[in-house]
Chains A and B, each alone.
Chain A
Amino acid sequence: MAKYAFFLGCIAPLRYPGIEKSTRVVAEAMGIELVDLTDASCCPAPGVIRAFDKKTWLAAAARNLALAEKAGLDILTICNGCYGSLFDAAHELHADKNLLKEVNEILKEVGLKYSGKTNVRHFAEVLYNDVGVENIKAKITNPVGYRVATFYGCHFLKPSDIKQLDDPENPKMLDDLVEATGAVSLYRKDKMMCCGAGGGLRSQFGDSAMKFTEENLKNMVDAGSEMIVDICPFCHLQFDRAQADLKGYALPVLHLSQLYGIALGMDRKELGLDAHVTPVKL
């Protein structure tokens, strides 16, 4: 059984705990053992904390990477922000020994050292690359027939020169993962457009963020989608909350772990669906 340090981040445990719960249940069903990465902090968020002070971003990320290294495990994330920050920070530290030395001077203050051994993984690509779509199909007990708008988000595939997971303009990984449940993924205009929340837009220029979100929602509805499936709690929050303020949209928003939870017959209450702002009518 593959074993990972489970990195929770902020939005999943503190705003959509159903994502955390369903990940724990689904991972076990898929043969992935999750060990809590205790004492971790925010990744820290790539579009805000990194934009405020890169040195702090790198040092706090290195602390999280060092905690996983101490536990002897690679990190598994369920959020594109966490994946983006931890993967990118690890990439920078692994490529630049002087930078690693500088960061270790800071980690020394808390009795930690990072030697550069932690790999950073995202739940979606672990399912795709390590478990495999055919094995997932064999484990589905409650197939669904939803017409889905898949939402990749930005920091999962990009920057693609270092992530190297899938074609950043025309990917298929998440579509294949969604269709493994029996659902249909529908193509749409501007499928890879950002949700609008990142980079501090949601926290400071919410009206601008909302314009991104509405354009995405319109394209999803025009394509005949009846729900959104994301792999990032921050995109998830943006789509779920935005629809309460926008007239005429009511697409349920599910994280991939929640869709898999449904397809594995998990109880609705455990999936946290009733805590969503946009009603999840299935």
Chain B
Amino acid sequence: MTAQPNNDFVQEVVARGGDSVTMCFQCGTCTASCPSGRQTSFRTRKLVRMAQLGLKDEVLNSQELWYCTTCYTCTERCPRNVAIVDIIIAMRNMAVAEGKMFDGHRKTAQSFVKNGHTVPISAEVKAQRKAMGLPEVPPTVLANEKAMADFDKILKATGFKKTIGE
């Protein structure tokens, strides 16, 4: 299959905060530094090159896009000051906007919407908190309906529920 370069792709990555993508000269320091690349098929240098070449569909459909833990080792060591994590975040945002999202990630996003937190509270944790002299429910959005409603309004304004397919 012949890849179909998308010339607008780099510009969108730039617009979404990955403006240093064009600075990469492919030295591979990122790949050599990447702890995920040791365990998986993720190759940071290759992903940045694919972005430069406008291989939009290949990038947004690749599982490797989601193998970065955002540890920033690549960004720290890049001799061209390429903000590699920002580029990855920009491309992940584009994938999610196209409805490309893994179930485990959607679950985290759904908890964020429902609870205002990435994980729910449990009866077990409530009991532990009480035994330590802490309020059973922490004094966050979880403890105040008005605050939770405000949080929900923020998500409505940004369209987050729609973005994650809720």
In the bound complex, residues from chain B placing their C-beta under 8 Å from that of A194 are: 35-36, 69, 71, 73
Please name the residue on chain B nearest to A211 by beta carbon.
Answer: B39
B155 touches A168 (CB 8 A): no
* Segment from A17-25, A124-132, A141-149 that makes contact with B: A17-25
- Give the total number of A-B pairs whose CB atoms are below 8 A apart: 207
| Alpha-carbon separation in the docked complex, A107 to B155 (Å) | 11
B105 to A53, Cβ gap below 8 A?
Answer: no
Q: Report chain B residues within 8 Å CB of A164.
A: none
Interface string of A1-32 (1 = CB under 8 A from B): 00000001011011101101100000000000
B residues near A44, Cβ cutoff 8 Å: 112, 118
Contact A63–B154 (Cβ < 8 Å)? yes
Asked if A48 meets B108 with Cβ closer than 8 Å, knowing A14-B117, A15-B119, the reply is yes
Q: Does A89 lie at the interface of the complex (its beta carbon under 8 Å from any beta carbon of B)?
A: no
Category for how many chain B residues contact A: 35 or more
CA–CA, A39 and B116, complex, Å? 10
A21, B147: Cβ atoms closer than 8 Å: no
In the complex, how many angstroms separate the beta carbon of B40 from the nearest chain A beta carbon?
6
Chain B residues, CB < 8 A from A155: 70, 72
Q: Jot down 18 A-B pairs with beta carbons below 8 A, ordered by A.
A: A14-B117, A14-B125, A17-B129, A41-B116, A44-B112, A45-B108, A45-B112, A48-B109, A48-B118, A53-B160, A54-B16, A54-B90, A55-B158, A106-B157, A107-B154, A109-B154, A197-B69, A203-B105
**15 additional contacts, CB 8 Å, given A199-B68, A199-B69, A208-B39?**
A15-B125, A39-B147, A41-B147, A48-B118, A52-B109, A53-B93, A59-B158, A60-B151, A63-B150, A109-B157, A203-B104, A204-B103, A205-B67, A270-B132, A272-B132
Minimum-distance CB pairs A-B, first 3? A204-B104, A39-B147, A158-B72
Residues of A within 8 A of B (CB): 8, 10-11, 13-15, 17-18, 20-21, 36, 38-42, 44-56, 59-60, 63, 106-107, 109-110, 112, 154-155, 158-160, 168-169, 192-194, 196-201, 203-205, 208-209, 211-212, 215, 269-270, 272, 275
